[in-house]
Amino acid sequence: MKDSSIEETGDTRPGAETLQTVQIWDPLLRLFKWSLTISVAAAWGLGMFGPDIMTLHFWFGYAVLGLLAFRLIWGLWGPEHARFKSFAYGPVAILKYVFGMFRRKPSYWPGHNPLGGLFVFVLLAVLLLQAVSGLFVDPDDYINVGPLAKYVGSETTRAALSFHVQLGWVVLGLVGLHVAAILFYRKWKGENLVTPMITGRKKIRKKP
């Protein structure tokens, strides 16, 4: 009996590659993706342009920490394509993918490709450092003090504040790079990366 979650597509001429549309991203992973996007954007915007009292900024930071905790659990025990081991590639695989990524055709990669997988690890690590550093900040205004600042010295709280601010720009750069990659795949390679993260379904090469 044919799996109803798999739909065969593509060119049926001899020698042409056969494609299939399969369910790749599970609902919880998709919910995590969009919840993290909203929380990071809100926390960054409030941190840069928000009111002097950063209560909402802190709450969105806590949301980011909670979402990252979920991603750690899901990366270890979630479905196949959500697990870290499914997109943890070595340097050879990453370089091989980079050298071929500028071909003007879709990659049809099942899940995260090697370069995308590396980006996921970097982004999650930076977001974790950003959120954790915010727990220790103390800007000396007696209002926007991180909940763990009282457990460390003043030098540590000042360093945490500086680190937190600097990482904010790193996060912005990574978000910009992510958007640029989405546009590159859409315009140059003709591959839509956004819709699969909404529907969960992705077109990939059929395994022989």
Q: What pLDDT is stored for residue 17 in this prediction?
A: 67
The DSSP-derived string for 81-119 is: GGSGGGS---HHHHHHHHHHTTSSS----SSS-HHHHHH
Which fold is adopted by the domain 7-205?
Answer: Fumarate Reductase Cytochrome B subunit (1.20.950)
Among 205, 174, 179, 206, residue whose Cα is nearest residue 194:
179
What does the DSSP 8-state code read for residue 149? Answer: G
**CA-CA distance, 94 to 92, in Å (whole number)?**
5
pTM, two decimals, is 0.89
pLDDT at 71: 98
Structure tokens at 175: 């978000």
Per-residue pLDDT of the chain (208 residues; tens, 9 = 90+): 344 454 554 444 444 568 899 999 999 999 999 999 999 999 999 999 989 899 999 999 999 999 999 999 999 999 999 999 999 999 999 999 999 999 999 999 999 999 999 999 999 999 999 999 999 999 888 889 999 999 999 999 999 999 999 999 999 999 999 999 999 999 999 999 999 999 999 999 876 6
pLDDT of residue 142: 81
**Rounded-to-integer distance, Cα 80 and Cα 89, Å:** 15
The length of the chain, given as a count of residues: 208
Domain spans, the chain: 7-205
Contact criterion met (CB below 8 Å) for 10 and 188: no
